Structure formats: C-alpha cells, structure tokens
Amino acid sequence: MQITKDIQYIGVNDHDIDLFEGQYIVENGMAYNSYVIIDDKIAVLDTVDAHFGEEWLQNLREVLGTRTPDYLIVQHMEPDHSANIDTFVKAYPDAVIVASAPAFNMMRQFFGTDYTDRRQVIKEGDTLVLGSHTLQFIAAPMVHWPEVMVTYDSLDKVLFSADGFGKFGALDADEDWACEARRYYFGIVGKYGMQVQNLLKKASALDIRMICPLHGPVLKENLDYYVNLYQIWSSYGVESEGIMIAYTSVYGNTKAAAELLAAKLTEKGCPKVVTADLAREDMAECVEDAFRYGKLVLATTTYNAEIFPYMREFIDELISHNYQNRTVALIENGSWAPTAAKVMRAKLEVCKNITFAENTVQIKSALNDESTAQLEALAEELVK
C-alpha cells in the first residue's frame, strides 16, 4: 500500500487471533502496522507480531527491491510491534536500531541484548535526516507504555502515532472506525488520559496532514474529527448525551427493573438509553459505553453480603481505567439484607468527580408499588 510517494505500508492482517492482549474479543481480527520511508536513507518504522515475521519481511523485500534498510525505528516495545526486531537484525546486519533508552532496556529483557553495537538512542526533539525527509521524535511516555516515542515526518506532514489513534480490526474489516477505536482506546489506553492530553498538546504544534497508527487504518481526511474524539476521550468528557443502564440479574427481577427504568427514561425524552446485561455482553463494550455517556445506572443483587461478581468486575474495570466526571445512580435488590447499593457506592467513591443520584432504588425480591415509585423518581431525576 502506497501512503505517499516515499512512504509505503508493509504491515499485516491477523485473522487468526481471537483475543487481543489475551482479553479483548476481536471478531474482525487485528492489523499490525509497519511502514517504510524510502529516501537517500531508508527507515523502517516498527515490526509486527511474532507470527507474521516472514510475511512482514517479504513485504519489506518487495518494496525495497535490491536496496536494504539503513534504520529500524522502534516506537513501541509491546510484542505485537517489536517481536521481529531480532529477525530484522539477522536479515539486515548493517542496519541501525533507533529507539529511546527505555526501549533498549526492554529489548534486553525480551531478546537478551540491547544491540549496543548498532543502536542510536533518541530522546524528545531529536531528529533523523534521511535525505529529503527529516524525522522528528516526540516522547509519548505512558501512551501507553513508558518507552513510547512517536515520529513526525516534516516533508509529508505525517505523524506516526504508535498506538495512538489505533483501533481493533484488520484493515480489510468493513466496520465503523469510532466504535472499535473507542473500545480500543478505553480498554488499552484509557487509564492514561493526562498523558494522551500531553501528546495531543505537542501534536497541536505540528502541521499534520496524515496519521499512521500501529493498528487500524491510515487517517487521511477529516483529521479534526479523530483528534476531537481523542480530546473528549482523554479528558474523560461526555461524547454522547444519554444514559447507560448496566445490570446483573439472577432470577429476572433486577432485569425487569432495569428494563422498566429504560422505558420510563425513553418516555421522558432521554435521547439515548443503553442497557447491558453484564453477565452476557462483552465487558469491554460495556466499559466503552460507560465512558461514552454522561450518566450510568448500576443495578444488581446483593450477593454473599456483597455484589454480584459481574457487577464487581465491571466496577473494578471502570476504576482501573480512571472512570470520572459522571453521574451514577444505584439500584439494589435483596430478599433479606440488601447491601448492594452501599457496596457499589463505596467502591466508586475512589473515582474523581462522581455525582451520585439522590434517588436510590431498593427492591425487596421483586418490584412492587413502592420500588416502582422509586424508579419513577429516579427517572425524573436523571432526565432533568
């Protein structure tokens, strides 16, 4: 794939993978992106997953013909991008590896060597001249590993953004960018919003015409759309007006309450109501929706004097990904000693800027007139 006159795509699609990072369902696979800049000097940007080393090298050979690369630029040491560094070194023994000092430390951990005899250590603001193309290196620590550097090509105005602006899905998948990019962002990068904000601030000083991430498609048009979403996501802002109701239910009574609340909210004019059965739906998609909307309702049973396991897992996921700046309402069900609302509130109090709804719904086994009236009051409060 030709990106610009001098930049070519040499990445691969992975349709064999079922779980990315051992936990995220990827029905449409993954893309491991790698690029090569062909100038007086030739620079390869990142490798690919270990299972695709020969395919990647063949892509590189086809692009280069009789020429050989001068540099391998390592932006990110996660193995889906760095696994073939040693393969590259053996194929091209005269090439120089360009990376940050922390990246070379990780190479020693992964490969038993930091390539002292063929390395070039870079830091924030350093440049690499290939001929017409000058590459500028920008530190992006904790987006989403500490060693990350992104690269800006001042000639073609291209930002090689490492895992930033990435998404789930192979490049030949026909799917909406925002949906899988959002799930990817909050699952993979979401905890590090402040660090993403710092990178966006640095990037705003550059004239960027194209973004080349390490996952997902090259972004060539409407860049303001993608950057604006990253601004919202990384500042933990509200992307869409609406309410998410996340529930667990043992015998169907808590589910009935969640569905009744959803119907009441819709009747009262709420623009979007999303319900999620946490025991049956993809947890990463549930986390994605919790960050997308500004209001969240948690409905669960009291279970072993605590909360139902899937609800505990969901709340723990929110906390670990830095959930904040939201309104949260609570619905508990319990047949003899309801404690779910108290437990959920205590867990979420560690999050920043969480406003709890005044109305908490308490169900004793099944809905009755009293708990239905509480649902009505909660619906009124949430649509204000």
In a domain, 253, yes or no: yes
Same domain, 185 and 224: yes
pLDDT of residue 145: 95
pLDDT of residue 109: 96
Distance of CA 265 to the CA centre of its chain: 30
Same domain, 76 and 197: yes
Tell me the per-residue pLDDT of 227-269, one tens digit each, with 9 for 90 and over: 999 999 999 999 999 999 999 999 999 999 999 999 999 999 9
Q: Which domain holds residue 266?
A: 240-383
Same domain, 80 and 229: yes
Same domain, 111 and 20: yes
In a domain, 72, yes or no: yes
Same domain, 193 and 106: yes
In a domain, 2, yes or no: no
Q: Is the pLDDT of residue 337 over 90?
A: no
**Domain holding 296: CATH number?**
3.40.50.360
Tell me the per-residue pLDDT of 25-74, one tens digit each, with 9 for 90 and over: 999 999 999 999 999 999 999 999 999 999 999 999 999 999 999 999 99
In a domain, 150, yes or no: yes
Burial of 308 (0-12, 13-18, 19+ CB in 10 A): buried
Same domain, 268 and 230: no
In a domain, 344, yes or no: yes
pLDDT of residue 1: 85
Domain end (from 216, 234, 252): 234
Same domain, 230 and 165: yes
In a domain, 176, yes or no: yes
Structure tokens at 326: 């939201």
Same domain, 303 and 166: no
Same domain, 289 and 162: no
- CB-hemisphere CA count at 13 Å for 96? 13
